[in-house]
Amino acid sequence: MGLWGKRDDTVVHEERPFNAEPVPDALDRHDVTPVDTFFSRNHADIQQLDPDAFRLDVDGLVERPLRLSLAGLRERFAVRTVVATLQCAGNRRAELAAARDIPGQVPWGPCAVSTAEWTGAALADVLAAAGLRPEAGHVAFLGAEAFGGSIPVAKATAREVLLAWGMNGAPLPPVHGGPLRVVVPGYIGARSVKWLRRVTAQERPSDNRFQARDYRLLPADADPAEAAQGHGLSLGVAALNAAVLCPQEGRTLPAGPVRVSGYAAAGDGRAVARVDVSVDGGRHWRQADLGEPAGPWAWRRWRLTVRLPPGTAEITARAWDDSAAVQPERVEHVWNPSGYMNTAWSTVRVTCVENGDGRSCGG
């Protein structure tokens, strides 16, 4: 077992802070990602908090501020379970950085995304118990190491947003924000604040630096070091994205039928409608088979068998959502200085050999 209970073959970009993603083969195996495979994104050290001493403050524009222990949360509110995909806004940054340098940022591959079954209380129920006041426009979250952010009230009061203490049927481990985190399905992972200490109802969006300065999409010609607070587009709702996980980039495979598979995920309020696969650079497309989603907030896993002749091949996938939005073609079209939201078509390059004995996926 690797660091923080992750699989031995996990790609560890940094040990401190711990930033790690699974290899594509491992991520591609499950609808609900095992905890040892789930990616982890941290901006500071992982917090090790005592669940018994833990308290959550709910304050700001509420009639009755609350201070809740973990036991209090469990006893007072209905327990809910939601299967939800979390995707980091920096997922697939390495492909952007290959087009144009992105210094000082974690070079995520296509696996800074995972899906878990989260258990906890609906944030809506907790806000109702506190008496959310009508002037509140946003609900801000603060973690124990000062990471924070906010979401609009309309989302905060939606049933799917959880204050979660459980992950895949076990207590939420410290590496994923235990004892308590927010889970905001349909939003970038940064809004799912870990080691949650404080929930504040307020008029305006959070001025925490991880919302006011970071996780903002700057125009391609901006310098992130010079950008003023509040500059650029504040990221919140996730964007439509998809990636090929299998075969993995650079593999050598037997020519003939090759199984291609991966994931697709839509943003808040949208659903993945179709995934297309091309083996000729986008001139012709075939539709992949979409797997049944594990829930309305979970990714769609997809697969298709294509025929590849001997030689090098490029396999490309793109997803469509139910508004007929489709992923943009090239990374150059979405490149931005901090390398967020790479939603471009996903391409892997492989070599096919006659009478080869490799497999497209798995060990």
Q: What's the closest the beta carbon of residue 183 comes to ligand MTE, in angstroms?
A: 9
126: tokens are 């907790």
Fill in the per-residue mask, 259 to 298: x = in contact with ligand MTE (CB under 6 A), - = not in contact: ----------------------------------------
**Which of 127-135, 192-200, 252-260, 336-344 is the region at the interface with ligand MTE (rule: CB under 6 A)?**
192-200
Rounded to whole angstroms, the Cα distance separating 301 from 240 reads: 14
Task: Give the pairing type, strands 181-183 and 113-122.
Answer: unpaired
Q: What's the closest the beta carbon of residue 214 comes to ligand MTE, in angstroms?
A: 9
3-state class (DSSP) for residue 250: coil
Give, in order, the Cα–Cα distances in Å from 16 to each of 6, 44, 202, 334: 15, 7, 33, 29
**Residue 176 near ligand MTE by CB under 6 A:** yes
Q: Give the number of other CB atoms < 10 A from CB of residue 160.
A: 20
What are the beta bridge partners of residue 12? Answer: 20
Residue number with CB closer to ligand MTE (197 or 300): 197
**DSSP secondary structure letters along 20-52:** EE--HHHHTT-SS--TTTS-B--SSPPP---TT
Residue in this structure with the two tokens 């508004």, named with its chain if needed: 323
3-state class (DSSP) for residue 98: helix
**Residue 147 near ligand MTE by CB under 6 A:** yes
Residue number with CB closer to ligand MTE (147 or 320): 147
- Are 249 and 92 in contact by the 8 Å Cβ rule? The answer is no
**Residue 118 near ligand MTE by CB under 6 A:** no
Rounded to whole angstroms, the Cα distance separating 189 from 90 reads: 9
**Residue 195 near ligand MTE by CB under 6 A:** yes
**Which of 141-149, 251-259, 311-319, 350-358 is the region at the interface with ligand MTE (rule: CB under 6 A)?**
141-149
Residue number with CB closer to ligand MTE (174 or 356): 174
**Which of 61-69, 70-78, 185-193, 260-268 is the region at the interface with ligand MTE (rule: CB under 6 A)?**
185-193
**Residue 193 near ligand MTE by CB under 6 A:** yes
**Residue 189 near ligand MTE by CB under 6 A:** yes
Which position among 155, 194, 216, 300 is part of the footprint of ligand MTE (CB under 6 A)?
A: 194
Residues forming contacts to ligand MTE in the complex (CB under 6 A) are 38-43, 86, 88, 143, 145, 147, 176-177, 189-190, 192-195
